[in-house]
Amino acid sequence: MENLTKDIAEIARVALKKIVSEKRLPTPHIYEMEFIEAAETLKKDRVLKYLTEDEKNLEQQIQAVLDDTGGLLSSLQISLGMFEEDSRGHIAVMDESIESIRSVSDAMQGAGLEGLLSEITKLKDTNHQLVESLSQTREELSSKEKTLRDLENLAQTDPLTQLLNRRSWNKQLEEEFERSSRYHHVFSVIMLDIDYFKRFNDFYGHPVGDAILRKLGALLKESVRKIDAVFRYGGEEFTVLLPETPLSVARTVAERIHKKINTTVFVDAKKRLELKVTASLGVADSEGLNTPSAILEAADQALYLSKQSGRNCIRTALDFAPVNSTS
């Protein structure tokens, strides 16, 4: 019986070694097939005869090996695609299994389990390498994700004012229009243009003009809600998107912005100049308009009317008959 036990231990070692080399999961079913194949390869006739005499002996012998090694196979449910946390857990279990195998090997007086112990140790080392690889990959992915976020932020932000740019405006206007249409909410748009901005650049230089744009951008952000969005539309033009806001409320917001601009002292970067800045504003909402471009055109026409009215004032879509554009 002792020799039979040694043969079974040797077959178990060969079977497990093959499973490990092929990076397969050592489930009981797979282990059983590999055990029989190893017995045939090693020509362990007495083991095969023993198994043939009673098919249940195979299951019993395999179960005996499992019991003797402290549930070895249950601790080896390893897959290279597992997450790092799972791999670390398996390594801890393997440490316990190795100690269990050592105890069993001593008890069986070295009945062929030394090789099995060696294979388990190798598998544990492989998992250590997998953990390190997964950790490194995770760090690399995190770094790349941050780079992508930074690039996306740069693509959506105006570098001078740090406001959202025209590209972002086009996207968010489209999204808000779709949301408004789906839930039947009205939203509004404010367009703002600095009056005679070219004169500031011509008389004081572009650094002064840039300082005015930065200051106005900050002022606009301070004047709206968190759910609102402020954009530098281009040059000295700005837009404000006001979700779930009817025209009457949007006009009140525009009046607050207009008053704040008129009571703010604008200075250049070196604070040597104190300048008075005014702006013209146009306001429109989505009520009755069937495309984003129609809403933008309505606000633009209101802004044009504000300029035609002498600048430094506010006009809304109610002050004219807007064109319902379908382009």
Query: The tokens of 118 are what?
Result: 């060696």
Among the listed residues 203, 223, 202, 326, the one whose alpha carbon sits nearest the alpha carbon of residue 279: 223
**C-alpha atoms less than 13 angstroms from C-alpha of 280 in its C-beta half-sphere:** 19
Nearest by Cα to 284 from 238, 318, 236: 318
- The predicted structure's pLDDT at residue 272: 77
What's the farthest any 2 CA atoms get from each other in the chain? 110
DSSP state letter for 198: H
Name the catalytic one among 236, 244, 287, 297.
236
Compute the radius of gyration of the chain from its Cα atoms: 38
Q: What confidence score (pLDDT) does residue 81 get?
A: 42
Sole residue written with tokens 């690399």: 140
Whole-number Å distance between alpha carbons of 119 and 98:
10
* E-only strand ranges, 40-91: none
| Spatial separation of the C-alpha atoms in residues 62 and 11, rounded to whole Å | 11
| 169 contacts 238 by C-beta, under 8 angstroms | no
- H/E stretch holding 316: strand 314-316
Fold for the domain defined by 166-319:
Alpha-Beta Plaits (3.30.70)
The residues, any chain, with a CB within 8 Å of residue 233's CB and separated by 6 or more, are: 166, 169, 191, 239
Residues 6 or more apart from 67 whose CB is under 8 A from it? Answer: none
Tell me, yes or no, if 40 is annotated catalytic. Answer: no
Classify strands 188-194 and 237-242 as parallel, antiparallel or unpaired: antiparallel
Bridge partners (DSSP) listed for residue 316: 283
Distance CA 284, CA 138 (A): 48
Would you give per-residue pLDDT tens digits along the chain (327 residues)?
657 777 777 888 888 788 777 766 666 666 677 778 888 888 877 777 766 555 455 455 555 554 544 444 344 344 434 445 555 565 565 666 666 655 555 555 554 556 666 766 776 676 667 667 767 766 766 666 666 565 566 678 999 999 999 999 999 999 999 999 999 999 999 999 999 999 999 999 999 999 999 999 999 999 999 999 999 999 999 999 999 999 999 999 999 999 999 999 998 667 678 899 999 999 999 999 999 999 999 999 999 999 999 999 999 999 975 444 443
- Tokens encoding 225: 């809600």
Query: Model-level pTM?
Result: 0.57
CB 291 within 8 A of CB 177: yes
Q: What residues does each domain of the chain span?
A: 2-138, 166-319
Note the Cα 194 to chain centre separation in Å.
Answer: 38
